[in-house]
Amino acid sequence: MELPKDSMMLFSVINMKLRDCYSSLDELCEDMDVDKEELVSQLKAAGFEYSAEYNKFW
């Protein structure tokens, strides 16, 4: 699956995947072959931070 380029759509898709399919961001990135640092950086630039405790960006 190709991830959306738009930050808001990316935020939505990643949180949906984390909620429905993956127990951690590391698991998602490994399974989807996504660069974790790049993903976190892109979402951070849009104002979102990852919470490992809640397994979601907010």
48 pLDDT band (50/70/90 cuts)? very high
Q: What is the pTM of this model?
A: 0.94
3-class DSSP state of 4: coil
Taking residue 15's Cβ as centre, other Cβ atoms within 10 Å add up to 18
Q: What is the pLDDT of residue 1?
A: 79
Q: What is the per-residue pLDDT across 11-39, written as a single tens digit (0 to 9) for each?
A: 999 999 999 999 999 999 999 999 999 99
For residues 48 and 57, what is the distance between their CA atoms, to the nearest angstrom? 6
